[in-house]
Amino acid sequence: MPFKGKLMNISETTHRIKQMALSAGFHKVGVAPVQRPAHSDYLREWLMQGRHGEMHWMERYLEKRLDVQKLFPEGRSVIVVAHNYFTNHRHVQQAACGKISRYAWGRDYHKIIKKKLKHLLNEIRTKVDPAIEGRLFVDSAPVQEKLLARSAGIGWQGKNTNIISRDMGSWFFLGELIVNRELRYDEPHLDYCGSCTACIEACPTQALEPYRIDARKCISYLTIELWNKPIPQELAGRLDNWIFGCDVCQDVCPWNRFAKESDEAAYQPGEGNVTAELSTLLHLSAEAFKQRFKKSPVYRAKYENFMRNVRTVAEHATTEK
Ligand code: B12
Ligand code: SF4
Ligand code: SF4
């Protein structure tokens, strides 16, 4: 395709790219240099302490995970985007209902964000410079996305370890486009947790200490990433009715009072996801699970693990509530 853009300086190019990201449907965008971000090396310590539990895939490509430059050596700038998934619904707090975390109420975000990032890269190549090469990532690549998001000024990493933005709260996904072009970089975001410790106190399994998590205790890990094993007995009674993921440390975060409903229709809850009745789910067949969750993040848990979660919650809901 012939190049129709005009030559621009770094500031103009950066501004143009940011406008394109917002037009592509992202809710926030920032730019960081391709370098090892602050706190990156803590990952090594975290892995050594076994805090990742059985997520052994996190040990692979460790050097790339520690230093984004090793992932794409020609890369100069990381364009980090945030995609808001907040919808105006509340979890039902009843013994008879299981809770699915908000990020998984609607359609799977990986496809949605990847499609938007591909569109963004095409736009950049068509309207800014066809020589720009890029690599895009959402969640699954060996990248520490939250550290890049902090460097790019999207938000700060809170004591609950999630990225929080002053204007959006933390109900958003992250995605990145790394390009082989120098751009104008944003300042790393300042920390606005202050003396608050609400998330640490509210965590049902005490998985948090300030800015650090022990994934082995986190309900999100236990219900999504712990495969083909029972949930350890000492934690099984503390799932607080969560059958897929957990939102407690974000629900209590005061910055989430600023959350606004997303304009992404695909994140609206699928039928029965906000009020997930345990009595119905206990009889879900493998085929019905596939039909119901094929396009949802819940599908990642696989049928056997999802049913383990439902049974574990149901057992404790009847005996302890
Ligand atoms: C592994 C993983 C998990 C694990 C571990 C969680 C974790 N905190 O990392 C589990 C399965 C538990 C998990 C759960 C969730 N996850 Co997750 N997960 C990831 C994944 C794939 C890798 C994260 C990683 O590298 N962890 C390694 C540890 C060491 O990182 P960390 O806890 O952030 O630790 C850093 C800080 O402790 C920091 N540090 C150390 N000391 C200090 C001191 C100070 C002062 C500071 C500031 C920092 C600091 O250095 C560490 C190194 O990075 C990312 C995608 C990606 N590729 O990045 C998504 C990701 C982090 N997850 C995401 C989401 C949405 C969730 C859940 C909310 C889902 C849910 N509702 O159940 C929960 C949140 C639980 C929580 N409180 O963190 C989003 C977060 C978006 C956001 N706004 O922040 C991501 C970015 C996916 C995406 N593309 O959108 N997740
Ligand atoms: S997601 Fe739930 S279990 Fe995990 S750290 Fe947050 S509150 Fe604790
Ligand atoms: S609940 Fe408080 S301490 Fe935890 S992340 Fe939010 S502001 Fe920070």
Q: Tokens 């975390």, residue?
A: 101
From residue 231, alpha-carbon distances to 25, 46, 234 in Å are: 38, 22, 9
Helix axes 286-293, 302-320, angle to 10 degrees: 100
Residues with CB under 6 A from ligand 1: 39, 42-43, 46, 55, 101, 103, 138-139, 143-147, 157, 160-163, 170, 172-174, 211-213, 215, 218, 220-221, 224-225, 245-247, 249
Q: What is the pLDDT of residue 38?
A: 82
Residue 92 burial class via C-beta count within 10 angstroms: exposed 0-12, middle 13-18, buried 19 and up: middle
Count helices and strands (H / E) in the chain.
12, 11
Q: Tokens 């959006």, residue?
A: 168
CB-CB neighbours of 265 under 10 Å:
9
What separation in Å is there between the alpha carbon of 172 and the centre of ligand 3?
16
DSSP 123-138: HHHHHT-TT--EEEE-
Contacts of residue 276, Cβ cutoff 8 Å, sequence gap at least 6: 97, 98, 99, 100, 243
Helix axes 10-23, 109-127, angle to 10 degrees: 140
Residues with CB under 6 A from ligand 3: 158-160, 193, 196-199, 252-255
Q: Whole-angstrom Cα distance, residue 205 to residue 234?
A: 10
Q: 240 an active-site residue?
A: no
Q: What is the pLDDT of residue 317?
A: 75
Q: What are the residues facing 137 on neighbouring strands? A: 176
Q: Torsion angle of alpha carbons 251, 254, 258, 260, nearest 10°?
A: 0
CB 96 within 8 A of CB 288: no
Instruction: Tell me the residue type at 287.
Output: E
Q: What is the pLDDT of residue 318?
A: 55
Atom of ligand 3 nearest to the CA of 202: 1
Phi, psi of 223 (to 5 degrees): -95, -15
Q: Which residues of the chain have pLDDT under 50?
A: 319-321
Instruction: Kindly provide the b/e burial profile for residues 54-90, where b requires at least 16 CB atoms within 10 angstroms of the residue's own CB.
Output: eeeebeeeeeebbbbbbbbeebebbbbbbbbbbbeee
CB 193 within 8 A of CB 160: no
Q: Whole-angstrom Cα distance, residue 128 to residue 4?
A: 8
Q: What is the pLDDT of residue 204?
A: 98
Ligand number nearest to the C-alpha of 252: 3
CB 212 within 8 A of CB 161: yes
Nearest to 177 by CA among 80, 102, 92: 80
Scanning 61-167, the segments in alpha helix (DSSP H) are 62-66, 109-127, 145-151
Q: Whole-angstrom Cα distance, residue 17 to residue 103?
A: 27
pTM for the full predicted model: 0.96
Residues with CB under 6 A from ligand 2: 160, 203-205, 207-208, 213, 218-220, 246, 248-249
Q: What are the residues facing 98 on neighbouring strands? A: 276
CB 83 within 8 A of CB 26: yes
Nearest to 159 by CA among 228, 207, 95: 207
Q: What is the pLDDT of residue 321?
A: 44
